[in-house]
């Protein structure tokens, strides 16, 4: 496999409320149905930049074969002032070695290396929340994606 091949755009299943809905993500193709994500999603759950995933059933969530070591942090708001986005991006890069992977209107997706530990990550994102009154959340730590009330954790970050 040529590691320098151009990234591809893949369709990742998100939901089927009123018909299937997909999010397009950049990835590196590894095999027929296997990809490494090059960006954390802004909508899809249980995925982050660096994860190796299998998409055999187009109308089902991607199956994570191997975690890439990043938490995906998603933020949803009607609008976020540009200076606050810049502050957050700078803080995530400088303090956590992470990246701002996506911006769409008031929605952000970020990849943050799990090696930072949740306490340090929580501290930074809580400072953002205190500055903006905008909530944030980890989108790839919960086991049961179909039940919003179930907060059972996957604990994949402890296995690294």
Domain chopping of the chain, boundaries: 8-66, 70-138
The fold of the 70-138 domain, in CATH, is: Alpha-Beta Plaits (3.30.70)
The H-or-E segment that residue 145 falls in is none
Instruction: Bin 3: left if φ > 0, else alpha if -120 < ψ < 50, else beta.
Output: alpha
Q: Tens of pLDDT along the chain (160 residues)?
A: 455 678 999 999 998 778 788 999 999 999 999 999 999 999 999 999 999 999 999 889 999 999 999 999 999 999 999 999 999 999 999 999 999 999 999 999 999 999 999 999 999 999 999 999 999 999 999 998 888 889 999 999 998 6
**Model's pTM, two decimal places?**
0.92
CA distances from 122 to 24, 42, 54, 103 (A): 28, 19, 30, 20
List, in order, residues 6 or more apart from 154 with CB less than 8 Å away.
140, 141, 142, 143
Residue 114, both tokens: 């799990």
């Amino acid at each position: 496999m040529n590691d320098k091949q151009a990234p591809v755009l893949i369709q990742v299943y998100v939901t089927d409320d009123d018909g299937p809905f997909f999010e397009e993500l950049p990835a590196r193709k590894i095999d027929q149905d296997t990809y490494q994500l090059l960006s954390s999603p802004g909508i899809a759950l249980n995925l982050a930049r660096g994860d190796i995933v299998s998409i055999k059933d187009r109308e089902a969530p991607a199956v994570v074969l191997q975690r890439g070591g990043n938490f995906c942090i998603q933020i949803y708001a009607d609008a976020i002032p540009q200076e606050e986005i810049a502050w957050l991006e700078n803080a995530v890069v400088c303090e956590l070695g992470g990246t701002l992977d996506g911006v769409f209107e008031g929605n952000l997706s970020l990849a943050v290396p799990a090696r930072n530990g949740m306490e340090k990550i929580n501290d930074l994102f809580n400072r953002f929340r205190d500055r903006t009154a905008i909530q944030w959340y980890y989108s790839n730590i919960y086991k049961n994606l179909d039940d919003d009330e179930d907060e059972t954790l996957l604990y994949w970050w402890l296995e690294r």
